[in-house]
Amino acid sequence: MDLEIKGHVAVVTGGARGLGAQICMALAEEGAHVVVWDRDHAAGELAAAIRANGGSASAVSADVTHSSLVNETVSSIVQERGSIEILVNCAGFSRDGAITEMSDEQWHDVIAVNLHGTFYVTRAVTRVMKAKGYGRIVNVSSRARTGDNFKANYAAAKEGVVGLTMALAIELGKSGITVNAVAPGFCETERTRGLPYFKDLKSRALEKTPTARLGNERDIADGVLYLVGRRSGYITGEVLTIAGGRWR
């Protein structure tokens, strides 16, 4: 199916690695110009790889937790590319811990990147989309938003992302902008394989997932692709859980 996004400018935060990188590559395959947004040189490396593979991509480096820097970065993207039609808020990370041992830093860092960063970037990009009268925003939440072991900070942030998604869907619908979320389940990635408790997580996930397999980054990217297409214009305020049927 033609998503009708060829030539669209797609900004993906947290785009240099893992799920974000897969989303960037998938968007480039569909003909979008992808702006890989991350905090370090890896964004440039991925953009170069996309171009070497025949796609169109550029890179920006900025911390999504600093609102003034976010505003400057979005302005520079628009100055260079002319518009932004697609935003995927994928920047995020977890710092797990029991609630009795969780530090203020663990709490604030996770909330800052996953929730505040999503707000800052969305606010800046929405100004551009409203002027154009068109936009597709997809926020990456998580199945863990409903709760998981030692993830009080992460669950709070990702449920906050869902609330933000639903509120903005109502607010921005008349401006031609859709706002949806995807909620990945546990996926086997380079990052998760490096966790000291990966084997336990994998065993529990396989036991509780009806499809009897772990997800992968392309499973999630395919869901994002559908939601950013022109034909998805009557879908907004939704949360697409991509977890193989697992809810807990």
Active site residue 154: yes
SS3 of 131-191: HHCCEEEEEECCHHHHCCCCCHHHHHHHHHHHHHHHHHHHHHHHHCEEEEEEEECCECCHH
For 63, phi and psi rounded to 5 degrees?
Answer: -85, 120
The catalytic position among 120, 134, 154, 226 is 154
The catalytic residue positions are 154
